[in-house]
Amino acid sequence: MIEGPFLAIETSCDETAAAVIRDREILSSIVASQADIHTRYGGVVPEIAARHHLGTVNVVIAQALDEAGLKMSEMTAFAVTQRPGLIGALLIGVSTAKALAYVHRRPLYCVDHLLGHICASWLAPTLLETPFVSLIASGGHTRLDLVTDLATPTMLGSTIDDAAGEAIDKGARLLGLGYPGGPALEALAAMGDPKAHAFPIGLGGKRIRNFSFAGVKTSLLYVVRAEPDMSDQRRADIAASYQEAIVGPLAARVLDAAREHRVSAVSLGGGVAANGRLRELVTEGAARSGLRVAMPPRDLCTDNAAMIGAAAHFTPRIEWPDYLHTDAVPTAPPGGIAA
């Protein structure tokens, strides 16, 4: 455990975030979203994201300290997302954290973003203990992990093509819902029938742990092309069926993996974990199997710095000033999570 309050920074994609963490408690968590900026482009533009981080990161850090009622000099350490992510965006956070840690002669924790999503459930109020099976589903990642030690999760499966969040965003765009697509698709799907259209389920099978979403995305494209003038109700039915074809396998496979490995709990993380239908399916399935479901608050599912602070507790400490040559890394290591 890291002793005393410390500052965590997250800039891996298009949210500029800072949080002050003490033990398992979130003293503050500030997230500045760039969603409105990237909406006109239909997705995140890396160069624009990096420039926005540059102009926002110091403000967000100041807000996090103010909300926590603490000064920078009271921080006992600093933590930052080092990998994976957009390289320009990561560089802003890593450079900022290194500078702050160096000036204040504090240690630095360089955190893997995916470990952050897993460790979000370790924080209050969820307070999940190992062992459990973790599902991460976001715009860039979809993976299952068996977590017996938070420092070294064991990957059970991942997507072989598109991430679940990417498929949702692309589907929302095909249905004319714009970006970001997740909340809009969920709202439209709530008015439709999830059994109205049979979309293909990638990599079906009881023992399958990997995911595939490219096929369902292509199938939606063909439906939209074949029915350019579909009614509002038909559009809602298609949205509901498409959403079900994505969140259904996510729910089924995390629950199957928990039963296979005989753990008593599952956790959800990543932006797609905020989807109400996914949460409903996992909750219902877990109740039938006697499993606990750890679902962090929705603001801890999407990218945030509090989860990076949680993961710092299980990340190697780099002493002052040894981290000065540490750099941002855009890619995940073999196995998907850096030790």
Mean of the pLDDT values across residues 288-304? Answer: 93
Residues 226 and 144 in one domain: yes
In a domain, 287, yes or no: yes
Strands 265-269 and 292-294: parallel
- Residue 103 CB: number of other CB atoms within 10 A? 10
- Domain span at residue 227? 128-295
Assess contact for 43 and 58: CB atoms under 8 A. Answer: no
Mean of the pLDDT values across residues 19-24? Answer: 98
* Position 110 pLDDT exceeds 80: yes
* Position 44 pLDDT exceeds 90: no
Nearest 5°: the CA angle 70, 73, 78 is: 90
* Position 325 pLDDT exceeds 80: yes
In a domain, 309, yes or no: yes
CA distance 231 to 93: 46
User: Reduced to 3 states, what is the DSSP secondary structure of residue 284?
Assistant: helix
Mean of the pLDDT values across residues 268-293? Answer: 96
Mean of the pLDDT values across residues 101-117? Answer: 98
Residues 205 and 114 in one domain: no
Assess contact for 77 and 35: CB atoms under 8 A. Answer: no
In a domain, 338, yes or no: no
Give the count of alpha carbons within 13 A of 217, CB side only.
Answer: 16
pLDDT digits (tens, 9 = 90+) for 215-274: 999 999 999 999 999 999 999 999 999 999 999 999 999 999 999 999 999 999 999 999
Residues 149 and 235 in one domain: yes
How high is the mean pLDDT of the chain?
Answer: 95
In a domain, 193, yes or no: yes
- For residue 180, the domain's CATH number is 3.30.420.40
Q: How many domains does the chain have?
A: 2
Query: What would the DSSP string read from start to end of 41-99?
Result: TTS--HHHHHHHHHHHHHHHHHHHHHHHT--GGG---EEEEEESS-HHHHHHHHHHHHH
CA distance 250 to 202: 11
Give the count of alpha carbons within 13 A of 132, CB side only.
Answer: 23
- Residue 333 CB: number of other CB atoms within 10 A? 12
* Position 1 pLDDT exceeds 90: no
* Position 195 pLDDT exceeds 70: yes
* Position 96 pLDDT exceeds 90: yes
In a domain, 123, yes or no: no
pLDDT digits (tens, 9 = 90+) for 48-67: 999 999 999 999 999 999 99
Residues 160 and 179 in one domain: yes
pLDDT digits (tens, 9 = 90+) for 74-88: 999 999 999 999 999
Predicted pLDDT at 339: 64
Residues 243 and 214 in one domain: yes
Which residue is listed with tokens 């498929």?
167
Of 95, 9, 84, 13, the closest CA to residue 48 belongs to 13
Predicted pLDDT at 111: 98
Long-range contacts, 98-105 (Cβ 8 Å, 24+): 98/323, 98/324, 98/326, 100/7, 100/61, 100/72, 100/75, 101/77, 101/320, 101/323, 102/320, 102/321, 102/323, 102/324, 104/72, 104/73, 104/75, 104/78, 105/320
Assess contact for 155 and 145: CB atoms under 8 A. Answer: yes
Assess contact for 79 and 308: CB atoms under 8 A. Answer: yes
Residues 194 and 76 in one domain: no
- What is the pTM for the complete model shown? 0.94
Residues 57 and 155 in one domain: no
In a domain, 337, yes or no: no
pLDDT digits (tens, 9 = 90+) for 121-157: 999 999 999 999 999 999 889 999 999 999 999 999 9
Assess contact for 169 and 139: CB atoms under 8 A. Answer: yes
Strands 132-137 and 292-294: unpaired
